[in-house]
Amino acid sequence: MTTTTGRWPATAVFFLNGLTLSTYIVRIPTTKVVYHLTDGQLGVLGVLFAVAALASMQAVDTLVARVGSRPVLRVSLAVMPVLLALIGWVHGVAALAAVLTVLGAVHGTTDAAMNAHAVAAERRAGRPILNGCHGAWSVSAVLASLITAGLAHAGVSLTVHLTGTAIALLIGGVALGPFLLPASVDRRHGRRAVRGRVDWRAGWSRTVVALGLTGTALMLYEGAVLSWGAVFLHDIRGASLSIAAGTVTAYTAGQTSGRLVGDRLTSRYGRQPVFRTGGLVAAAGLAIAVTAPRPATAVAGFLVAGLGSSVLLPLTFSAVGQAGGQRTATFVARFTTFTYAGILLGPALISAAAELVGLMWTLTALVPMLCLVSTLTRLPSPPPRVEATASAAPA
């Protein structure tokens, strides 16, 4: 049942993963109330999730080398919905912490494996697909928010919501499995690949570190916009809470729209020009947002910022995976470590800088940073297309 290039199954994996994780994220406030969590306890749970995800990513290379990304994804797509449902069923903070820790580990494994699988599909297709994959993740996040808002308004409980969503996700994940590319596309053969242990030192090449720092900067930028954009409009520009909340909607809408056309732009103009242009457009959008005197103009600036930034992370993921060759999973896992560092450290760094020099100057400083990233980053050229065989062996 494996498709020729594996593009749409790879995209569907991103959608299912995004819907799973986003459903939990948008239900965090409800989870906090149901389990009577303090702010400190909620913070600890978030750290446990992130640390487990980071740790599991480091072992993905060995796992994919032994069995291929297809079996890894088939298992993780079945396990994640079960863990999502358990969030609504377990009793006590300790049990919730255990579930979220395991969920973090499985998500980290899925994150690295699905990007490695998408790179393999991109290599087989001979054309860009990573923007579309990440675009599917963005669409699923919006869908999860809309579904949650509707169910919360209807008074549907946390347990019923998570269980119903988990059943749908489980059915989708099981049905998707046979359509993924065969395990042979990224499984490494040989005694060392089969019996080797996790090598924590592998994959830290100059290319990975350089692109990893780019990924950290990109996530720092994105985290600043999503976490502090609305605060900036409300506190500095005096916008109402409803208008200020529009910054997240505008940025997300721009980012999702850009990713849906990003692959076509990359095919036509090339990876490096699209990356450079996207970065400069994102910088210009943020510059408009922080300097515009009117809140409506600032919201439009955030829309432009999302549109420009949409292609940056997918293109970097693609470049890292292509540079990895047969060790795509290793390179992707190491790169994802850098992006998670940006996610974890970004809010604290922005907060500290805002306390020191003010929020406006802190956000303004991200404009030249993004200009430097977009002009100095060098993305490796993609390799030639790998022709698909007429019939693929099952996993």
Q: What is the pLDDT along the chain (395 residues), one digit of tens a residue?
A: 555 678 899 999 999 999 999 899 888 888 999 999 998 898 889 889 988 998 898 888 888 888 989 999 999 999 999 999 999 999 999 999 999 999 999 999 999 999 999 998 998 888 899 999 999 999 998 898 888 888 888 889 999 999 999 999 999 999 999 999 998 888 765 545 445 555 556 667 888 899 999 999 999 999 888 888 888 898 888 888 778 878 888 998 999 999 999 999 999 999 999 999 999 999 999 999 999 999 999 999 999 999 999 999 999 999 998 886 667 778 888 898 899 888 888 877 888 888 899 999 999 999 999 999 999 999 887 655 555 443 343 44
State the Rg of the chain over Cα.
Answer: 21
- Please tell me whether residues 77 and 129 are part of one structural domain: yes
- Give domain status of residue 326, yes or no: yes
- Give domain status of residue 382, yes or no: no
Which among 314, 316, 315, 311 is positioned nearest to 262, based on CA atoms? Answer: 311
Rounded Cα distance, 30 and 36, in Å: 10
- Please tell me whether residues 27 and 134 are part of one structural domain: yes
Check if the beta carbon of residue 63 is closer than 8 Å to that of residue 188: no
Among 141, 163, 195, give the residue marking a domain's end: 195
Rounded Cα distance, 176 and 2, in Å: 10
- Please tell me whether residues 99 and 243 are part of one structural domain: no
Collect all residues with Cβ–Cβ distance below 8 Å to 358 and sequence separation of at least 6.
none
Query: Tokens 């946390």 appear where?
Result: 158
Rounded Cα distance, 53 and 58, in Å: 9
- Give domain status of residue 200, yes or no: no
- Give domain status of residue 389, yes or no: no
- Please tell me whether residues 210 and 190 are part of one structural domain: no
Give residue 347's pLDDT.
76
CATH value at residue 349: 1.20.1250.20
Give residue 190's pLDDT.
52
Among 138, 168, 195, give the residue marking a domain's end: 195
- Please tell me whether residues 68 and 147 are part of one structural domain: yes
Rounded Cα distance, 95 and 111, in Å: 24
- Please tell me whether residues 176 and 215 are part of one structural domain: no
- Please tell me whether residues 150 and 223 are part of one structural domain: no
Number of domains in the chain: 2
- Residue 249 amino acid letter: T
**Full residue range of the structural domain in which residue 123 is found:** 7-195
- Please tell me whether residues 227 and 296 are part of one structural domain: yes
- How far is residue 107 from each of residues 17, 84, 155, 179, 208, measured CA to CA in Å? 8, 11, 28, 21, 21
Collect all residues with Cβ–Cβ distance below 8 Å to 191 and sequence separation of at least 6.
none
Q: What is the DSSP string of 7-60?
A: HHHHHHHHHHHHHHHHHHHHTHHHHHHHTT--HHHHHHHHHHHHHHHHHHHTTH
- Give domain status of residue 189, yes or no: yes
pTM of the model: 0.83
- Give domain status of residue 96, yes or no: yes
Would you give the DSSP letter of residue 327? G
Q: What is the DSSP string of 278-305?
A: HHHHHHHHHHHHHH-SSHHHHHHHHHHH
- Give domain status of residue 105, yes or no: yes
Among 146, 174, 195, give the residue marking a domain's end: 195
Rounded to the nearest angstrom, the gap between the alpha carbon of residue 47 and the centroid of all alpha carbons in its chain is 17
- Please tell me whether residues 108 and 228 are part of one structural domain: no
- Please tell me whether residues 188 and 219 are part of one structural domain: no
- Give domain status of residue 290, yes or no: yes
Check if the beta carbon of residue 278 is closer than 8 Å to that of residue 362: no
Q: Give phi and psi for 91, each to the nearest 5.
A: -120, 130
Give residue 390's pLDDT.
38
- Please tell me whether residues 237 and 293 are part of one structural domain: yes
Rounded Cα distance, 313 and 310, in Å: 7
- Please tell me whether residues 92 and 163 are part of one structural domain: yes
Q: Which pair of structure tokens corresponds to residue 43?
A: 């913070």
